[in-house]
């Protein structure tokens, strides 16, 4: 109270000074602050701050400064004008007083309210001026200390920066700046609005200076300030220039400084990690940071502090965004991938997220794939199931996307992770869905044996849903996945209910080239499965392919062509495809320059042209022109397609007619001589089909078909082509006008090449062609022989194929008929022996053909009759007569009859019991056999030497039976035979007893050709008196009377008839008288 009184009443300067000095001394004792803070004490002190006496002002300011040090009474020292007094003292002329004012305000500025009030009352300019004093470091430092406290208030920071440029510059330019300078800068960094300005005005350099302090707390403060400054891009660039990276790297390893607590070290590492995390946001410095500090960052990532780990992994993730940094992060350097993998298994979700980001970025380099697959892939799969973290899902999806091209990851991703990846395709985040879908796309592209997993987990359904998405890129990825899966047969399961094709078709209207490429590939793969064709066509695949084909991208066109080729291979769908415009699309695709596409288009058009209904439509709608145009194309595939299409059309009458009307025959003939064997094969096949119909042979011939086929056979060595050429020639040889052309073109000579082919069918057709060519006129036949046909026929006759031998035999038969020259050539070439061997074959047709040939050779003046004896052929013939085939028996007996015209041969036949064989054969034989036998009997009956053999062999009865047949030829030969036999008196009675009169009378009554010989026979029979009664009973007298009255008959016969009747009458009369 005494001091208060002295202060209030201080009348003299000395007393005032003493009171203030005493009060100052007391204020240095903290326990006295509560007493001094009372208003009645403080006010005199505040008033003394404005005293005229310098010492009084100094003491008053010191007292207020001491009181402001106490947190509890600081407000009392500030109120009542204390703050204003201190602010005014800043402008005091006495520099010491101003210094004490700075100290007082520094203590007062420990309260946030006071901090802002100092600036409100105008203290900032004075403090800034004092801080810039050059010749008074102590005062400057006090001012800066006060400014440092003021800078802790956010509301002061902007005004301070507006006037603090020089302060920053001074502090940053000093070689040994005050710590208060640096703390002021550190406090200013808490305001994000001035961070860039701080960086521009030297704040980074100042804080880096503070960070070099040996005091760990100072380091923490400086690095915390730097961490805040590094939030802006331009400050990060300045930080790199100022060399801050190395300072951070050096401080990151300080964990064993004496006296440091674990908490302090942890805070320091956390701030460093945060700085690195911010600093690595700049792309242009990442490589330099990695080179110098990646080891330090990796060390921080293994800290025990979760926040430090999170921030350091964040820095690794930022650095790893640039692939150039990856070479410094490998196991040999910092082994960041190991830290990131460990982070994936951390319990803290934030650490997992940053670790996943680091892994995802590092996976851009394939070098890290094996480590992640072996140690971290399971953790990534587990993290992908974190439904509460969208970023985690995105990062794992991105990781899967980058790992999926590596085959080593496929087993784990497919068998254990596919379900989770499919789940990621259904999350709301678009990018997550895209990366997950891309991972599935890559996995499905290498599915191999694990393809069934995709279908069992519903991948097709999931991708179909993604196609319905409005995002074009996502649709493209989903379509690509389905394209990869579509070759599997599992795609056909329940495909009829699938809307896969419909969704793909719907996308075409807005699809870009990439999406169109995937759609076309998908549809082409699906078309490989016949089970899918019905659904695909029902859902509009054909018009869709037409839209896709309008693009200029060759790959799309190629897949469109492949789809058409597969769809058109289904015969049941060809007509539908045509009606939906498939042929028009194929025609447009045929103009592409893509060789593979051309091949597919050619195949599709070939398939489509094979349907008969489509052929009708093509003919009706006049759409045959494209096929003709293909025949003139320079592309071999198109010519193949044209030839094959017309070959298919030529299989039926409709197609042949269309080709003929549209002028296609000439085109086909051109293709027959094409250098490509496939084109040539199909074209020749088409011609062979054409000439198989008789109606079209003349048109082929007129267009030079024979000449073309000759060129084909001459130049070609392909077995299939030669086979079809042989077939064509065999058909053309049936056309009589063409046959003459073929002979003139020396086709028989050309057939020798075909006849010697290793292909059995070719030989058969060649033999048939030659057989047909041998059926011409005599001149043509002889020309055929001159062209060397006999040499070929002899080769064919000995070939071990019955059909070929049969054709050769028929050809010989044809050549022999009507040409004695040919017969001589045939005989001289040794054909008899093979033919005789042929009649012993068990095959009936072969025997018949050989017999026909032998019969043809034997007719007329032929040496065959003698040669048969030479070749011992009679026994073979007689054996043949014993067979069960009527035609062979007939031909054999006919041949025997022809041979019997030679006496030597006839003698041999009789000696070999030929007559008895005939007797056994005739009763059960056909009419043809009976005729042949009748002819042979007629020849034998001419020679009386054979009569006894005829009688002993029982042939008389057979002869009478043959004569009694109602058959003109048998009656002719029978009458002739009976006429000769009746000359033998020993036969006259037996013949009558066997019934020879009745057939003779019948023949005489019918005015048939046999009437003459029947009359002669009856006249001879009438010479024997024993026969008169039988002749009379059988009507012979009436026949003879009619013969005697006939004006047509020979006079001698008429005379003999009348004479016989007279003789018979006398004999009958005498016999009657004797009886009476």
Among the listed residues 717, 697, 782, the one whose alpha carbon sits nearest the alpha carbon of residue 748: 782
Distance CA 424, CA 418 (A): 10
Q: Are 680 and 672 in contact (CB under 8 A)?
A: yes
Radius of gyration of the chain (CA): 63
In terms of phi and psi (left: phi > 0; alpha: psi -120 to 50; beta: otherwise), the region of 776 is beta
The least confident of 159-168, 738-747, 967-976 is 159-168
Question: Quick one: tokens of 991?
Answer: 């013949």
Question: Quick one: tokens of 666?
Answer: 């000439």
Q: Are 124 and 159 in contact (CB under 8 A)?
A: yes
| Strand blocks (E) in 797-881 | none
Question: Quick one: tokens of 824?
Answer: 């001589």
Cα-based distances in Å from 895 to 237, 834, 868, 889, 932: 121, 16, 11, 10, 9
Distance CA 983, CA 976 (A): 11
Q: Are 429 and 390 in contact (CB under 8 A)?
A: yes
Burial class (CB in 10 A: 0-12, 13-18, 19+), 714: exposed
The least confident of 205-219, 231-245, 320-334 is 205-219
Quote the mean pLDDT of the chain. 83
Q: Rounded mean pLDDT of 988-1001?
A: 83
Among the listed residues 1059, 1007, 1000, the one whose alpha carbon sits nearest the alpha carbon of residue 1031: 1000
pLDDT of residue 1007: 67
pLDDT of 668 strictly over 80: yes
pLDDT of 870 strictly over 70: no
The least confident of 676-690, 698-712, 880-894 is 880-894
Q: Rounded mean pLDDT of 324-341?
A: 82
The predicted-structure confidence for 1033-1045, as pLDDT tens digits, reads as follows 777 777 777 776 6
* 3-class SS of residue 458: coil
Q: Are 850 and 839 in contact (CB under 8 A)?
A: yes
The least confident of 39-43, 556-560, 822-826, 832-836 is 39-43
Cα-based distances in Å from 874 to 90, 844, 867, 893: 160, 19, 10, 11
Q: Which residue has the higher pLDDT, 213 or 465?
A: 465
Distance CA 871, CA 771 (A): 26
The predicted-structure confidence for 725-783, as pLDDT tens digits, reads as follows 999 999 998 888 888 898 888 888 888 888 888 889 999 998 899 888 888 888 888 88
Q: Rounded mean pLDDT of 329-354?
A: 84
pLDDT of 482 strictly over 60: yes
* 3-class SS of residue 586: helix
Q: Rounded mean pLDDT of 315-319?
A: 88
Distance CA 645, CA 624 (A): 10
Q: How many CB atoms sit inside 10 A of residue 438's CB?
A: 24
pLDDT of residue 172: 42
pLDDT of residue 254: 60
Query: DSSP secondary structure string, 118-185?
Result: HHHTTHHHHHHHHHT-SS-HHHHHHHHHHHHHHTTSHHHHHHHHHH-HHHHHHHHH-SS--HHHHHHH
Among the listed residues 433, 491, 490, 442, the one whose alpha carbon sits nearest the alpha carbon of residue 467: 433
Query: DSSP secondary structure string, 495-550?
Result: GGG--HHHHHHHHGGG--HHHHHHHHHHHHHHTT-GGGHHHHHHTTHHHHHHHHTT
Residue 263 confidence class, pLDDT cut points 50, 70, 90: low
Q: Are 169 and 207 in contact (CB under 8 A)?
A: no
Question: Quick one: tokens of 426?
Answer: 């259904």
pLDDT of 160 strictly over 80: no
Q: Rounded mean pLDDT of 101-116?
A: 83
Residue 1076 confidence class, pLDDT cut points 50, 70, 90: very low
pLDDT of 1048 strictly over 60: no
Distance CA 519, CA 516 (A): 5
Distance CA 22, CA 374 (A): 80
pLDDT of 178 strictly over 80: no
Q: How many CB atoms sit inside 10 A of residue 620's CB?
A: 9
Q: Rounded mean pLDDT of 543-559?
A: 90
Q: Which residue has the tokens 């020798």?
A: 752
The predicted-structure confidence for 567-612, as pLDDT tens digits, reads as follows 999 999 999 999 999 989 988 988 888 888 888 988 998 888 888 8
The predicted-structure confidence for 214-249, as pLDDT tens digits, reads as follows 777 777 777 777 888 888 888 888 888 888 888 888
Residue 1069 confidence class, pLDDT cut points 50, 70, 90: low
| Cβ contacts of 9 within 8 Å, gap of 6 or more | none
pLDDT of 805 strictly over 70: yes
Distance CA 92, CA 55 (A): 12
Instruction: DSSP letter for 117, please.
Output: H
| Cβ contacts of 450 within 8 Å, gap of 6 or more | 410, 411, 414, 415
Count Cα atoms within 13 angstroms, Cβ side, for 409: 30
The predicted-structure confidence for 388-423, as pLDDT tens digits, reads as follows 788 989 999 999 999 988 888 888 888 888 899 999
Q: Which residue has the tokens 């075409």?
A: 508
Question: Quick one: tokens of 955?
Answer: 């042939």
pLDDT of residue 562: 93
Percent of the chain predicted with pLDDT > 70: 91
Q: How many CB atoms sit inside 10 A of residue 646's CB?
A: 33
pLDDT of 325 strictly over 80: yes
pLDDT of 275 strictly over 50: yes
pLDDT of residue 565: 92
Q: Are 453 and 414 in contact (CB under 8 A)?
A: yes
Among the listed residues 347, 333, 345, 348, the one whose alpha carbon sits nearest the alpha carbon of residue 359: 345
Q: Rounded mean pLDDT of 1004-1013?
A: 75
pLDDT of residue 262: 65
The least confident of 243-252, 647-656, 687-696, 935-944 is 243-252
Residue 8 confidence class, pLDDT cut points 50, 70, 90: low
Distance CA 118, CA 124 (A): 7
């Amino acid at each position: 109270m005494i001091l208060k009184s002295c202060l209030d009443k201080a009348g003299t300067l000395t007393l005032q000074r003493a009171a203030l000095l005493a009060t100052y001394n007391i204020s240095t004792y903290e326990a006295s602050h509560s007493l001094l803070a009372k208003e009645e004490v403080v006010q005199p002190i505040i008033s003394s701050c404005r005293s005229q006496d310098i010492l009084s002002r100094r003491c008053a300011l010191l007292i207020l400064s001491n009181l402001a040090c106490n947190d509890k009474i600081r407000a009392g020292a500030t109120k009542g004008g204390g703050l204003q007094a201190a602010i005014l003292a800043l402008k005091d002329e006495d520099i010491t007083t101003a210094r004490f004012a700075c100290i007082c305000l520094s203590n007062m500025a420990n309260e946030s309210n006071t901090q802002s009030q100092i600036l409100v009352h105008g203290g900032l300019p004075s403090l800034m001026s004092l801080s810039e004093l050059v010749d008074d470091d102590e005062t400057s430092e006090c001012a800066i200390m006060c400014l440092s406290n003021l800078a802790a208030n956010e509301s002061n920071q902007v005004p301070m920066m507006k006037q603090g440029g020089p302060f920053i510059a001074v502090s940053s330019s000093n070689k040994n700046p005050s710590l208060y300078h640096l703390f002021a800068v550190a406090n200013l960094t808490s305001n994000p609005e001035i961070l860039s300005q701080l960086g521009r005005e030297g704040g980074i350099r100042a804080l880096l200076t503070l960070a070099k302090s040996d005091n760990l707390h100072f380091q923490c403060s400086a690095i915390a300030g730097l961490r805040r400054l590094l939030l802006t891009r331009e400050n990060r660039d300045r930080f790199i220039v100022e060399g801050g990276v190395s300072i951070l790297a050096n401080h990151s390893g300080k964990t064993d400084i004496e006296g440091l607590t674990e908490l302090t070290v942890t805070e320091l590492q956390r701030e460093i990690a945060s700085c690195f995390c911010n600093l690595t946001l700049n792309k242009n410095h990442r490589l330099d940071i990695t080179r110098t500090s990646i080891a330090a960052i990796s060390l921080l990532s293994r800290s025990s502090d979760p926040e430090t780990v999170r921030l350091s992994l964040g820095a690794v993730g930022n650095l790893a965004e640039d692939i150039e940094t990856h070479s410094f992060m490998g196991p040999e350097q910092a082994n960041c991938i190991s830290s990131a993998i460990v982070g994936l298994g951390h319990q803290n979700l934030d650490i997992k997220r940053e670790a996943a980001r680091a892994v995802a970025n590092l996976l851009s380099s394939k070098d890290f794939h094996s480590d992640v697959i072996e140690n971290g892939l399971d953790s990534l799969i587990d993290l992908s199931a974190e439904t509460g973290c969208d970023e985690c899902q995105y990062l794992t999806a991105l990781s899967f996307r980058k790992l999926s091209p590596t085959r080593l990851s496929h087993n784990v991703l497919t068998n254990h992770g596919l379900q989770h990846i499919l789940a990621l395709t259904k999350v709301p985040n678009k990018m997550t869905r895209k990366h997950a879908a891309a991972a599935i796309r890559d996995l499905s592209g290498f599915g191999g044996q694990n393809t069934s997993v995709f279908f069992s987990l519903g991948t097709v359904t999931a991708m179909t849903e993604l196609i319905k998405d409005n995002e074009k890129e996502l649709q493209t990825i989903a379509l690509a996945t389905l394209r990869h899966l579509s070759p599997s047969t599992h795609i056909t399961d329940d495909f009829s209910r699938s809307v896969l094709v419909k969704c793909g078709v719907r996308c075409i209207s807005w699809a870009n080239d990439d999406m169109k490429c995937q759609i076309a590939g998908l549809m082409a793969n699906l078309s490989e499965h016949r089970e899918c064709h019905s659904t695909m066509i029902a859902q509009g695949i054909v018009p869709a392919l037409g839209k896709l084909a309008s693009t200029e991208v060759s790959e799309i066109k190629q897949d469109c062509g492949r789809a058409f080729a597969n769809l058109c291979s289904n015969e049941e769908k060809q007509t539908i495809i045509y009606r939906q415009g498939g042929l028009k699309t194929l025609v447009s695709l045929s103009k592409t320059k893509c060789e593979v596409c051309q091949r597919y288009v050619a195949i599709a058009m070939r398939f489509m042209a094979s349907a008969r209904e489509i052929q009708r439509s093509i003919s009706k709608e006049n759409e045959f022109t494209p096929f003709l145009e293909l025949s003139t194309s320079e592309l071999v595939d198109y010519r193949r397609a044209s030839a094959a299409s017309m070959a298919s059309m030529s299989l039926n009458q409709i197609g042949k007619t269309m080709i003929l009307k549209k002028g296609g025959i000439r085109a086909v003939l051109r293709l027959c001589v094409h250098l490509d064997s496939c084109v040539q094969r199909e074209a020749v096949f088409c011609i062979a089909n054409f000439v198989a119909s008789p109606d079209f042979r003349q048109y082929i011939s007129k267009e030079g078909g024979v000449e073309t086929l000759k060129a084909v056979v001459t130049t070609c060595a392909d077995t299939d082509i030669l086979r079809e050429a042989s077939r064509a020639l065999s058909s053309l040889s049936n056309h009589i006008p063409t046959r003459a052309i073929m002979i003139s073109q020396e086709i028989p000579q050309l057939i020798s090449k075909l006849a010697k082919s290793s292909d059995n069918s070719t030989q058969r057709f060649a033999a048939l062609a030659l057989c047909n060519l041998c059926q011409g006129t005599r001149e043509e036949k002889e020309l055929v022989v001159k062209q060397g046909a006999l040499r070929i026929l002899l080769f064919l006759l000995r070939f071990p194929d019955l059909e070929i031998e049969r054709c050769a035999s028929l050809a010989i038969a044809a050549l022999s008929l009507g040409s004695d020259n040919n017969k001589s050539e045939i005989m001289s070439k040794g054909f008899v022996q093979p033919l005789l061997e042929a009649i012993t074959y068990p095959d009936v047709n072969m025997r018949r053909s050989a017999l026909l040939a032998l019969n043809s050779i034997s007719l007329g003046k032929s040496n065959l009759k003698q040669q048969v004896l030479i070749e011992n052929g009679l026994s073979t013939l007689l054996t043949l007569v014993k067979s069960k085939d009527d035609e062979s028996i007939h031909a054999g007996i006919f041949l025997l009859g022809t041979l019997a015209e030679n006496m030597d041969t006839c003698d041999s036949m009789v000696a070999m019991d030929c007559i008895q064989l005939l007797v056994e054969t005739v009763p059960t034989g056909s009419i043809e056999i009976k005729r042949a036998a009748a002819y042979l009997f007629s020849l034998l009956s001419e020679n009386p030497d054979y009569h006894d053999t005829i009688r002993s062999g029982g042939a008389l009865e057979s002869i009478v039976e043959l004569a009694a047949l109602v058959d003109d030829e048998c009656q002719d030969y029978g009458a002739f035979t009976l006429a000769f036999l009746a000359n033998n008196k020993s036969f006259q009675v037996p013949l009558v007893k066997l019934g020879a009169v009745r057939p003779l009378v019948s023949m005489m009554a019918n005015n048939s050709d046999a009437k003459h010989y029947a009359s002669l026979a009856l006249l001879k029979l009438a010479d024997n008196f024993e026969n008169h009664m039988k002749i009379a009973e059988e009507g012979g007298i009436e026949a003879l009377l009619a013969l005697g009255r006939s004006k047509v008959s020979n006079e001698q016969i008429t005379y003999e008839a009348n004479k016989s009747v007279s003789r018979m009458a006398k004999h009958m009369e005498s016999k009657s008288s004797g009886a009476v």
